Amino acid sequence: MLSPFGDLETSMWATSCGAATEADHRAREILTRVGDKWSVIVLYQLGEDTMRFTELLRTVPGISQRVLAVTLRGLERDGLVSRTVHPVVPPHVDYRLTPLGETLKETVTSLVRWTHEHLDDIDRARESYDETNGGPPRRPAVPDSDLRSR
Task: Give the binding site for DNA (CB under 7 A).
Answer: 1-3, 36-38, 52-55, 62-67, 69-73, 83, 90-93, 95, 138, 140-141, 148, 150
Does position 102 interact with a copy of itself (CB under 8 A)? The reply is no
How far apart, in whole angstroms, are the C-alpha atoms of residue 41 and residue 115? Answer: 12
| 24 contributes a contact to a copy of itself by CB under 8 A | yes
Q: Which does 90 bind (CB under 5 to 8 A by kind): DNA, a copy of itself, none?
A: DNA
Residue 42, φ and ψ in degrees, nearest 5? -65, -45
Q: Which does 107 bind (CB under 5 to 8 A by kind): DNA, a copy of itself, none?
A: a copy of itself
User: For residues 89 and 134, which CB has a smaller minimum distance to a copy of itself in the complex?
Assistant: 134
Interface with a copy of itself includes 58 (CB under 8 A)?
A: yes
Query: Of 81 and 104, which has the nearer Cβ to DNA?
Result: 81
User: Please, which residues bridge with residue 94 across strands?
Assistant: 52, 84
In this structure, the number of other CB atoms found within 10 A of the CB of residue 41 comes to 19
Work out what residue 105 binds among a copy of itself, DNA, none; the CB cut-off runs from 5 to 8 Å by kind: none
Q: Over the Cα atoms of the chain, what is R_g?
A: 20
Exactly one of 54, 65, 79, 91 binds a copy of itself (CB under 8 A); which one?
A: 79
Alpha-carbon distances, residue 83 vs 69, 95, 128 (angstroms): 11, 5, 45
HSE (side-chain half, CA atoms, 13 Å) at 124 = 4
In this structure, the number of other CB atoms found within 10 A of the CB of residue 60 comes to: 17
**What does 25 interact with, of DNA, a copy of itself, none (CB < 5 to 8 A by kind)?**
a copy of itself
**Residue 64, phi then psi, degrees to nearest 5:** -90, 165
65: partner contacted, choices DNA, a copy of itself, none (Cβ within 5-8 A by kind): DNA
